[in-house]
């Protein structure tokens, strides 16, 4: 009896132990699932890539932007989710010895312009106003879709800016600037309007770290190519093209990104190590205090790549026969043919008609309020000075 | 018989759904064509045209099924009630003097002209919205089109398609000369093509070759055309044209041999399966001109002759849908070779070296009969150092006259003369054979006005600087370093004493 009791106790203890272990396994599984749930909360990716410099000697800024564009496209973000702003045209510039190309490495190794580029804002359209309107979404209603940033609160946005900058400002096209305060306020507007989930801001200009000093909205991570008081330097000139091809920071970032593929698990800490002072001469900086996740948990592809939720199905779908559609409308046309009279082409230069046409009179509008008021004033003054008796000469 | 009837009926029923499909052309069709024209200056012009014809009345039926006609443009036509749309992007200028008349010229930059339907109430608003949408589709800054660069022509730009009535109120025209054309405009243009740079003639459209040209023009034209010969119903026609002119020196390295591979760095591999017609035409009109013969390789299957732009022209036709021309194992690489008889000319040129030697150009030319030959040479003026100027630089500098040595055919044959016996004026030049005589002629010397520096400048600068320094600095220096003290006026010099003496004698008070 005691033995069975002991046995029962042992079995219950064993059962309890097993149950506990299963419970802990289940709990760890739930924990894993929960962690995955919180790992990356975004469902779509956007990129806004801006080059703010004009003129041929700023070729390297266009090459910088295009190399980030190339990496971002390669890792999966489609053109419809990229807003590319280039302030000047280098590829088809008359000074370019190889038209329709922009190179990033000397000896013309890598053409970052490619054959499939779509520039959304170009030349004079790259202004501070347009940039802020794109970010905040306050664009005129007739703007085409490719020029809009249609992000929502589950979007991860990559913003890359390059050009000439200073302590607290970035120069747009040699005629205006954007300050770090304006940029921070624009990001706050985006946060208030729930236009991003997480934002990665990369800037490659002189004194770039000053541009992210003033950010105060959550979920922003920022990288810059140089600290306040330092200049960002360019990498190497090409003797055939005659200008510097890339800036150092972006050159090493491009090299780093060339090794990333859509499935890689590299995280942000590796990106922070790109281009140390020995290679870059300036000290790249980063800011992660506003970001909620730990940078080592943030994948590079969270911002540079694109999330594609693909569901594969093995069902077959039958499409409607094409001939049926054609047939029904063909019958319609046959019915009307006999009724209409033949149409004809217009005469391209009908001289007689042109000579004898009367110029169209503009629609007559009654005089506006100001003219009426002026005449009323003049008439009143006249009659006041000379008396009402002059009226009898009129009537 | 009764059994035969149902059989016949059944057979008819089976055939009928397929009947209209097989007997009539499909609702939309694509024709593509490339015309290669060797130009008189040695360059080559290539004109691509892709024409999609869509037998549909967009205004009447709500269309949701787009096949070859691109959906982006079809939706534009129905939303903005367009009658015609013509949009072109051009880089360069068509030089009619050297290249002959063009098929279709476009202005440099971007040009957009549109005819709206008569049902549109606010044309200006539709125009503004349309230019914004097009700027998004073609990645161009067409959104800069507004009332400051839009006009309504009253006499020209009549509709190129079917038109009942042309009220110019519905026409708008704008041109943006500053617009740059580059790959980002070519990419969406290519995406509108049904075969989209994967098959057919559009594989030749590679940006790095197309923009390395003297002239590049791409355009989109939409207009209504007659559907059949009776012209009772409308079809929409979309023409996408691209014209480029390859420069003989940049692309051809100076040689006049052209081939598709040299021009486009691609050859034609397969026709576009969606095209009903896919042809390449090569202009072989100038078959023998200037004693040069044009050889086209591979030989064409047919030729086409017609009066184009006022002159009779012959074209060699290559049909890509013909399997003998192109199939899986054969690429089509057209080659144009100019075969010239050997030249009997001679040129010797020795360029100048600054302060060492002058230019020397010697040419042996055979002058064609009844013609005027002009020889011109461009030269650059280099800046001289200030000690190298003559004392009278405003006179200018002289360029030595050119020398022309010629063998002129004699009207009457001359006999060789004995130098000792004939007069002196006949023995200036030795005569080898009497059919021509030698003469040496000179042109006028050229007086070139070079920009003259202002030689008085250093003198003026020194004077001015010294004056400024003396006046400003000198005054300050005096004020700062000199002390001033009051001085009693001197009681008088000698002159004053003498004057006082004379005044005393006169009885007048002294000075």
Average of per-residue pLDDT across A222-226: 94
Signed CA dihedral, A244, A250, A254, A256: sign only: positive
Query: Is B302 strand, coil or helix?
Result: strand
Based on the number of CB atoms within 10 Å of its own CB, is B493 exposed (0-12), middle (13-18) or buried (19 or more)?
exposed
Name the residue among B155, B164, B212 with its Cβ closest to that of A354: B155
pLDDT for A27: 66
Closest CA–CA distance from residue B282 to any residue of chain A (Å):
27
- Sign, Cα dihedral of A334, A338, A342, A343: negative
Residue pairs between chains A and B whose CB atoms are closer than 8 Å? 138
Q: Which one of B130, B133, B183 makes the best mutation probe of the A interface by having the most chain A beta carbons within 10 Å?
A: B183
β-pair partners for B360: B350
What pLDDT is stored for residue B385 in this prediction?
86
Does B136 touch chain A if contact means CB atoms closer than 8 Å?
A: yes
CA distances (Å), B9 to each of A187, B4, B13, B229, in order? Answer: 73, 9, 6, 34
Taking contacts as CB-CB distances below 8 angstroms, the residues of chain B near A92 are 91, 180-183, 211
CA distance B173 to B373: 45
The pLDDT of residue B18: 40
Chain B CB contacts of A117 under 8 Å are 183-184, 187
Of A117, A330, A344, the CB nearest to B184: A117
Nearest CB neighbour to B135, from listed A144, A333, A342: A144
Please state whether beta strands B292-297 and B302-308 pair in parallel, antiparallel, or not at all (unpaired).
unpaired
Look up residue B156 and give its DSSP letter: S
* A358 pLDDT above the threshold of 80: no
Q: Write down the pLDDT at residue A338.
A: 53
pLDDT (average), residues A299-318:
85
DSSP codes joined into one string, B368-410: PTT----------PPPPPGGGS-S-GGG-EEEPPPEEEEEEEP
Q: Which residues of B touch A133 (CB under 8 A)?
A: none
- Contact residues on chain B for A114, CB-CB shorter than 8 A: 183
Q: Is B161 on the interface with A (CB under 8 A)?
A: yes
**What residues are paired with A176 via a beta bridge?**
A172
Whether A363 has its CB under 8 Å from any CB of chain B: the answer is no
pLDDT number for residue B105: 92
| Whole-angstrom distance, CA of residue B99 vs CA of residue B214 | 11
CB contact under 8 Å between A92 and B182, yes or no, is yes
Separation between Cα atoms, residue B414 and residue B406, nearest integer Å: 17
Please give the residue that has the higher pLDDT: either B187 or A365.
B187
- Please compute the mean of the pLDDT values over residues A252-276 and round it to a whole number: 91
**For position B16, what pLDDT does the model report?**
41
- Find the angle CA(A305)-CA(A309)-CA(A315) to the nearest 5 degrees: 145
Helices A128-136 and A180-192 cross at an angle (nearest 10°) of: 20
Pseudo-torsion of CA B117, B119, B125, B131, nearest 10°?
A: -30
pLDDT score, position B254: 62
Residue found under tokens 């360059």: B43
Query: What pLDDT is recorded for position B17?
Result: 42
Residue of B91, B141, B163 lying closest to A122 (CB–CB)? B141
pLDDT value of residue B475: 92
Query: Contact B211/B182 with Cβ under 8 angstroms?
Result: yes
Distances (CA, A) of A108 to A111, A121, A196, B50: 7, 26, 38, 34
- Maximum CA extent, chain B: 175
Here the tokens at position B366 are: 């055979």
Task: Fill in the DSSP letter of residue B360.
Answer: E
Rounded Cα distance between A42 and A154, Å, is: 5
Q: What is the pLDDT of residue B377?
A: 83
Give the distance from residue A42's alpha carbon to the nearest chain B alpha carbon, in angstroms: 27
DSSP A199-262: EEEEEESTTGGGGGTT--SSSEEEEESS-TT----B--B-TTT-SB--BHHHHHHHHHHHT--T
Q: Is the Cβ–Cβ distance between B8 and B1 less than 8 Å?
A: no
Identify the three-state secondary structure at position A389.
helix
DSSP SS3 for B326: coil
CB–CB contact B182 A89 (8 Å): yes
Residue A308 has pLDDT above 80, yes or no: no
CB-CB under 8 Å, B187 with A115: yes
With beta carbons under 8 A apart, name residues in chain B contacting A120.
Answer: 136, 139
Those residues whose C-beta lies under 8 Å from the C-beta of residue A251, and which sit 6 or more positions away, are A104, A235
pLDDT above 60 for A240 = yes
Interface residue B163 vs chain A (CB under 8 A): yes
Confidence of residue A244 (pLDDT cuts 50, 70, 90): very high
Distance from first CA to last CA of chain A, Å, rounded? 137
φ, ψ of residue A181 in degrees (nearest 5): -70, -45
Chain B residues whose beta carbon lies within 8 Å of the beta carbon of residue A82: none
The predicted structure's pLDDT at residue A350: 81
Which of the following is catalytic: A61, A105, A206, A275? A206
For residue A143, give the chain B residue with the closest CA: B132
Please report residues of B whose CB lies closer than 8 A to that of A49.
Answer: none
Tell me whether strands B28-38 and B275-283 are parallel, antiparallel or unpaired: parallel
The tens digit of pLDDT for each residue in A74-104 reads 999 999 999 999 999 999 999 999 999 999 8
Q: Is B233 on the interface with A (CB under 8 A)?
A: yes
DSSP characters for B217-253?
EEEEEEEEEESSTT--SEEEEEEEEEEEEE-TTTTST
Position A376 pLDDT exceeds 80: yes
Instruction: Find chain A residues with C-beta within 8 A of B187's C-beta.
Output: 115-118
**What's the rounded mean pLDDT across residues A128-157?**
94
Structure tokens at A56: 């041929």
**Residue A368: helix, strand or coil by DSSP?**
coil
- Beta-carbon separation of A325 and B232 below 8 A: no
| Residue of A204 and B487 predicted with greater confidence | A204
Give the whole-angstrom CA distance, residue B38 versus residue B286.
Answer: 8
Residue B266 buriedness (CB in 10 A; 0-12 / 13-18 / 19+): middle
Our answer to whether residue A164 is catalytic in this structure is yes
pLDDT at position B308: 86
Concatenating the DSSP letter of every residue in B198-217 gives: TSGGGGG--HHHHTSSSEEE
| Mean pLDDT in consecutive groups of 10 residues from the start of chain B, 511 residues | 46 41 57 91 90 80 79 90 94 91 92 93 94 94 93 91 87 94 94 90 92 94 89 89 88 75 89 91 72 77 87 89 76 79 74 88 84 84 82 86 88 76 81 80 89 86 94 91 83 79 85 73
User: What is the distance between the alpha carbons of residues B185 and A245, in angstroms, rounded to a whole number?
Assistant: 24
pLDDT band at A262 (very low <50, low <70, confident <90, very high): confident
Return the residue of A nearest to B191 by Cα. Answer: A116
Of A100, A343, A359, Cβ closest to residue B164? A343
Q: In chain A, what is the greatest distance between 2 CA atoms, to the nearest angstrom?
A: 141
Alpha-carbon gap: A344 to the closest alpha carbon of chain B (Å): 6
Q: Do B232 and A101 touch (CB under 8 A)?
A: no
Q: What is the pLDDT of residue B65?
A: 79
DSSP characters for B102-127?
Answer: -SS---SEEEEEEEE-TT-S-HHHHH
Q: What are phi and psi of A38, to 5 degrees?
A: -90, -5
Q: pLDDT class for A172, splitting at 50, 70, 90? A: very high
B149 contacts chain A (CB < 8 A): no
Query: Among residues B85, B44, B53, B260, which one has the least CA distance to residue B171?
Result: B85
Assess contact for B32 and B48: CB atoms under 8 A. yes
Residue A138 reports pLDDT greater than 50: yes
């Amino acid at each position: 009896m005691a033995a069975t009791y002991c046995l029962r106790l042992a079995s219950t203890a064993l059962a309890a132990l097993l149950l506990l272990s299963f419970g802990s396994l289940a709990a760890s599984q739930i924990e894993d699932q929960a962690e995955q749930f919180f790992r990356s909360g975004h469902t779509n990716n956007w990129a806004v890539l801006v080059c703010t410099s004009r003129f041929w000697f700023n070729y390297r800024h266009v090459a910088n932007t295009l190399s980030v564009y190339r990496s971002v496209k390669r890792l999966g973000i489609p053109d419809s989710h990229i807003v590319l702003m280039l302030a000047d045209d280098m590829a088809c510039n008359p000074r370019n010895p190889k038209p329709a190309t922009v190179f990033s490495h000397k000896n013309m190794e890598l053409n970052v312009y490619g054959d499939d580029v779509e520039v959304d804002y170009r030349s004079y359209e790259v202004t501070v106003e347009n940039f802020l309107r794109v970010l905040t979404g306050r664009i005129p209603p007739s703007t085409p879709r490719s020029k809009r940033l249609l992000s929502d609160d589950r979007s991860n946005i990559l913003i890359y800016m390059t050009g000439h900058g200073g302590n607290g400002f970035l120069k747009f096209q040699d005629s205006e600037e954007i300050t770090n305060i304006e940029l921070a306020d624009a990001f706050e507007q985006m946060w208030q309007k729930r236009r991003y989930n997480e934002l990665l801001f990369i800037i490659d200009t002189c004194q770039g770290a000053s541009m992210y000093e003033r950010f105060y909205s959550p979920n922003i991570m920022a990288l810059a190519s140089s600290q306040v008081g330092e200049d960002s330097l360019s990498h190497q000139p090409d003797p055939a093209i005659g200008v510097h091809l890339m800036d150092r920071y972006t050159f090493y970032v491009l090299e780093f990104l060339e090794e990333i593929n859509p499935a890689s698990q590299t995280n942000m800490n590796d990106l922070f190590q790109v281009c140390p002072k020995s290679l870059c001469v300036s000290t790249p900086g980063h800011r992660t205090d506003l970001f909620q996740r730990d940078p080592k948990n943030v994948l590079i592809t969270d911002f540079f790549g694109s999330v594609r939720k693909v569901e594969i199905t093995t069902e077959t779908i039958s499409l409607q026969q094409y001939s049926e559609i054609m047939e029904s409308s063909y019958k319609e046309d046959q019915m009307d043919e006999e009724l209409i009279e033949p149409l004809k082409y217009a005469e391209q230069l009908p001289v007689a008609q042109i000579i004898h046409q009367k110029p169209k009179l503009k629609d007559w509008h009654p005089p506006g309020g100001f003219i009426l008021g002026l005449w009323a004033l003049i008439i009143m003054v006249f009659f006041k000075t000379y008396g009402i008796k002059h009226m009898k000469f009129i009537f | 018989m009764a059994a035969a009837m149902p059989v016949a009926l059944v057979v008819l029923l089976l055939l009928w759904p397929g009947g209209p499909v097989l007997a009539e052309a499909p609702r939309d069709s694509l024709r593509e064509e490339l015309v290669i024209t060797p130009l008189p200056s040695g360059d080559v012009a290539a004109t691509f045209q892709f024409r999609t014809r869509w037998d549909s009345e967009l205004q009447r039926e709500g269309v949701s099924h787009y096949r070859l006609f691109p959906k982006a443009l079809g939706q534009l036509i129905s939303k903005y009630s367009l009658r015609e749309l013509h949009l072109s992007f051009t880089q360069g200028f068509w030089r009619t003097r050297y290249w002959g008349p063009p098929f279709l010229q476009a202005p440099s930059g971007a040009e957009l002209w549109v005819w709206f339907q008569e049902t549109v109430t606010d044309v200006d608003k539709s125009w503004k919205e349309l230019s914004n949408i097009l700027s998004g589709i073609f990645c161009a800054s067409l959104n800069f089109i507004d009332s400051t660069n839009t006009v309504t022509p009253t006499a020209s730009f009549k509709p190129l398609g079917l038109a009942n009535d042309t009220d110019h109120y519905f026409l708008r025209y704008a041109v943006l000369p500053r617009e740059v054309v580059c790959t980002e405009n070519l990419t969406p243009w290519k995406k509108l093509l049904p075969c989209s740079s994967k098959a057919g003639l559009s594989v030749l459209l590679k940006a790095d070759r197309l923009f390395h040209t003297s002239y590049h023009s791409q355009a989109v034209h939409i207009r209504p055309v007659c559907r059949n010969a009776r012209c009772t119903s409308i079809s929409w026609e979309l023409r996408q044209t691209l014209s480029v002119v390859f420069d003989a020196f940049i692309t051809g390295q100076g040689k006049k041999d052209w081939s598709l591979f040299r021009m486009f760095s691609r050859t034609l591999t397969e026709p576009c399966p969606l095209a009903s017609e896919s042809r390449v035409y090569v202009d072989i009109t100038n078959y023998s001109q200037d004693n040069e013969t044009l050889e086209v390789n591979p030989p064409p299957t047919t030729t086409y002759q017609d009066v184009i732009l006022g002159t009779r022209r012959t074209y060699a036709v290559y049909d890509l849908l013909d399997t003998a021309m192109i199939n899986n194992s054969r690429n089509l690489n057209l080659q144009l070779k100019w075969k010239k008889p050997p030249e009997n000319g001679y040129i010797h040129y020795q360029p100048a070296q600054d302060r060492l030697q002058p230019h020397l150009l010697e040419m042996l030319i055979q002058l064609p009969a009844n013609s005027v030959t002009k020889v011109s040479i461009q030269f650059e003026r280099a800046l001289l150092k200030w000690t190298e100027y003559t004392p009278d630089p405003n006179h200018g500098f002289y360029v030595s006259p050119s020398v022309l040595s010629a063998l002129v055919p004699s009207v009457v044959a001359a006999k060789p003369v004995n130098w000792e016996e004939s007069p002196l004026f006949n023995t200036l030049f030795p005569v080898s054979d009497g059919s021509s005589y030698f003469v040496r002629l000179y042109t006028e010397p050229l007086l070139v006005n070079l920009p003259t520096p202002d030689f008085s400048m250093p003198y003026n600068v020194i004077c001015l600087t010294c004056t400024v320094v003396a006046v400003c600095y000198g005054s300050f220096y005096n004020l700062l370093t000199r002390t001033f003290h009051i001085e009693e006026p001197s009681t008088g010099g000698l002159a004053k004493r003498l004057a006082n003496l004379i005044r005393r004698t006169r009885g007048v008070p002294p000075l």
